[in-house]
Amino acid sequence: MPVVEHLEGQWREWRHARVAELTRPYGWTSLVAQHWLEEGSAPRELDLLPGTWSVENGAVIFTPPADGPTLSVNGEHQRTPVEIVHGRNQSFGHGKSVAVYFGDLEVETIDRTTDSGSPIFAVRVRDPRVSASKDFSGLSAFDYNPNWRIPVTFTPTPRDDVQAVTVEPGVRETTTWIGTIAFEHGGSTYDLTIIGKDSAQGVTPVAHVRDLTSGNETYGAGRVVNLEWADEAGERIDFVDFNYLVALPCAFTNFVTCPLVPRENHVDFAIDAGEKRPDQDVDRVTTFR
């Protein structure tokens, strides 16, 4: 294992980047709207956006207005109906989505399911002026502690798409389970289910955890930590560093569908490492009716 000075120095650089990430122009804290659509519903207008919106055969369709401002999709102004492909443009799960703007606003679509399994879709709007106005100088973390960099054994499993309950009542989000990690703490062995996040760089293994600090010193809906593959094949994980735990996006915005922590990942000890609870709480308001 690298010496403590190296580990702590790398963590400090990462921590600075983490806080900066929260105020990037089209990051999580720029979200200002989340409009829900269902298959077969009549085309409708959406606040902040031009034209009308509908879902056809699982695709979100934007129909431009007869005249006036319209969306820019992949660098071109649209004058005819066009599909806005699901996926975040600049982060995990971007898929085949492209850049979509309306003036300063960025637009994206997502696909989810209801509790009964019916497909639903949302159009999200991001405003860079909102994220620029945020102040995260009070967002703190526990001091780096090398004891929370713990050896693990990864056991891969066949990819399993699970419809997870989310912070948005009535809405479920697909999370892909790819295996488990086992580690020891306080004389006991623990297993955590690992989620695989698809990105342009491949699959990133992620642990979503709730511990005895959750809801007190740290965010109540749990925290996540990205893990590192120890091999190019993506079959081995050697350690988890809980110093890199961060709050979920729903700690900072209402316009998301963060999955709840799987029951398998509730641990019976306090992880006093990683990011602490934000100094301002988000009042959850239901966007899905």
Query: For 107, what's the count of Cα atoms within 13 Å in the CB-facing half-sphere?
Result: 24
Question: The tokens 């301002």 sit on which residue?
Answer: 280
What local confidence, expressed as pLDDT, does residue 289 receive? 78
Question: The tokens 């990133």 sit on which residue?
Answer: 204
Residues pairing with 188 in the sheet: 185
Look up residue 150 and give its amino acid.
I
What local confidence, expressed as pLDDT, does residue 275 receive? 98
CA angle at 81 for the pair 78 and 83, rounded to the nearest 5°: 95
Whole-prediction pTM: 0.94
Burial of 75 (0-12, 13-18, 19+ CB in 10 A): exposed
Residues pairing with 154 in the sheet: 181
Q: How far apart are the first and last CA of the chain?
A: 50
CA Rg value for the chain: 20
What local confidence, expressed as pLDDT, does residue 163 receive? 96
Phi and psi at 263, nearest 5°, equal -55, -30
Candidates 225, 226, 219, 224; CA nearest to 251 is: 219
User: What number of other Cβ atoms are within 10 A of residue 216's Cβ?
Assistant: 11
Domain boundaries, the chain: 28-132, 138-265
| Contact present, 284 and 254 (Cβ < 8 Å) | yes
d(CA 256, CA 34): 8
d(CA 91, CA 254): 18
What local confidence, expressed as pLDDT, does residue 125 receive? 97
pLDDT tens for the 289 residues of the chain, in order? 789 999 999 999 999 999 999 999 999 999 999 999 999 889 999 999 999 999 999 999 999 999 999 999 999 999 999 999 998 755 555 678 889 999 999 999 999 999 999 999 999 999 999 999 998 988 999 999 999 999 999 999 999 999 999 999 999 999 999 999 999 999 999 999 999 988 777 899 999 999 999 999 999 999 999 999 999 888 999 999 999 999 999 999 999 999 999 999 999 999 999 999 998 888 888 999 7
